[in-house]
Amino acid sequence: MIKKLSDSVAPRKRRNFLFAAAGFFLLNACEAKNMRVVLDMVVFSYLDRPIFEVNVDGKGDEVSDVYPRTGKGTTTGVEFTLGPKKVSWTLSGPKGMPRNGEIVHNKNSLELTKVSPGAKFLSVHIYPDDTVELLTSVHFPQVSARGEKEIARQETK
């Protein structure tokens, strides 16, 4: 039996087309898409002074007083992109206090990658060494484990 050239070319072209289409969809699915989550942002400050204009990647604009009056305010419906984060805040306090009005940025590397299933809140925990912790939760957030240690340390002063 003699095969015609057209009999072997058509299945090969179809196969190549299917591989190309599958490759396109696979690459498209693997492409780094900006995953977004909408969370309510709550700020916990463990500093000995009030802070304001607390932002995560320029979003949020929250304030916080000193402990124990921290973690009370909520900015609702903030859309965050998963990945590396930059947190900034402005130092406040009584007139004449050093560094008043200074904008501070987190010194540690931050990423928002793990979001608890059903999470509704992003708590931003700011520590005296200018490091920040980002935690997600389903229920209204509380003081972090590290925050409890910081509070205990401050109370022994």
Exposure letters 27-50 (e unless 16+ CB within 10 A, then b):
eeeeeeeeeeeebbbbbbbbbebb
83, 109 in Cβ contact below 8 A? Answer: no
Rg (CA), the chain: 25
Q: Give the pLDDT score at 30.
A: 45
Q: Give the pLDDT score at 71.
A: 94
- Give tens-digit pLDDT for 51-85: 999 999 999 999 999 988 999 989 999 999 999 99
Largest CA distance in the chain: 99
- Give tens-digit pLDDT for 42-59: 999 999 999 999 999 999
Q: Give the pLDDT score at 34.
A: 76
Q: How many CB atoms lie within 10 A of CB 132?
A: 23
Distance in angstroms (rounded) separating the CA atoms of residues 54 and 124: 9
Ranges of the chain with pLDDT below 70 = 1-33
Q: Full-prediction pTM beyond 0.85?
A: no
Q: Give the pLDDT score at 8.
A: 57
